[in-house]
Amino acid sequence: MKGRTAAVTVGLVAVAAAGLGIAAGWVPEPRDNRPVTPRWLEGVGGEQAAARLRVAVPADARDVKGAGADGWDADTYLLSFTVPHAEAEAIAADLRLDQPLKPHPPLPPAQNPPPVSFEHLGLPGPDTVPNARTGSVCPPCIGDERRSKFQTIGITLQDLGDGLTRVYLGGQ
């Protein structure tokens, strides 16, 4: 009888714990077939990432790099290139940022970079570069129909000197 009582008690505790989780708002989400770890999309380079982000890469841009990743809950697109300072500022203005770009002191490189990062493009992460300003925008929040497929787009402008700026763009 003791074994049976213990089994019933364990069962009741499990049901109560599950009930508490549901009462607190936690309900396990069904899993879909998308990978938990992002998968880099084949055939996505600078041109494709720019088209997806709806960013016009200037004709004189150098070192244009881009990639896309199929994530568990959203796709992410990365784009980076180097242009004269005025062109970089025009790209930031076209995004209609939530707030003006703010200086961003460089952080030390992460030992474990995020799964989707500019390191995939052979670049340091924008949060680790010196002489940088950063900002972001929620396109649906500001009614930007061009980019409404993205919940957020972040931009970092890194002053490289000699009038050149590296633009980092990431949209998810």
Is residue 122 pLDDT above 90, yes or no? yes
**In which order are the strands placed within the sheet that holds 164-171?**
39-40, 62-70, 75-84, 164-171, 153-161, 132-137, 102-104
Are 23 and 87 within one domain? Answer: no
> Of 132, 136, 125, which Cα lies nearest the Cα of 104?
132
120 SS3 class: helix
Is the C-alpha dihedral spanning 114, 120, 126, 129 positive or negative?
A: positive
Are 26 and 76 within one domain? Answer: no
Are 23 and 51 within one domain? Answer: no
Are 95 and 131 within one domain? Answer: yes
Per-chain mean pLDDT for the chain: 84
Are 14 and 70 within one domain? Answer: no
Are 147 and 167 within one domain? Answer: yes
The CA distance from 69 to 125, in Å, is 16
Are 78 and 153 within one domain? Answer: yes
Q: Residue 37 CA to chain centroid, in angstroms?
A: 14
The pLDDT tens digits for 36-81 are 567 999 999 999 999 999 999 999 999 999 999 997 777 999 999 9
The CA distance from 169 to 63, in Å, is 14
> If pLDDT is split at 50, 70 and 90, which confidence band does 109 have?
confident
Per the structure, the complete domain to which residue 15 belongs is given by 1-30
> If pLDDT is split at 50, 70 and 90, which confidence band does 143 have?
very high
Between CA 91 and CA 172, with CA 70 as vertex, the angle to 5 degrees is 35
- Give yes or no for a contact between 56 and 133, defined as CB atoms under 8 angstroms apart: no
Are 57 and 5 within one domain? Answer: no
Overall number of domains in the chain = 2
> Of 164, 153, 15, which Cα lies nearest the Cα of 88?
164
Amino acid, res. 53: L
> Can you give the length of the chain in residues?
172
For residues 118-135, average pLDDT:
95
Are 79 and 22 within one domain? Answer: no
pLDDT at 115: 80
DSSP state, 172? -
Are 148 and 91 within one domain? Answer: yes
Are 88 and 147 within one domain? Answer: yes
Are 107 and 24 within one domain? Answer: no
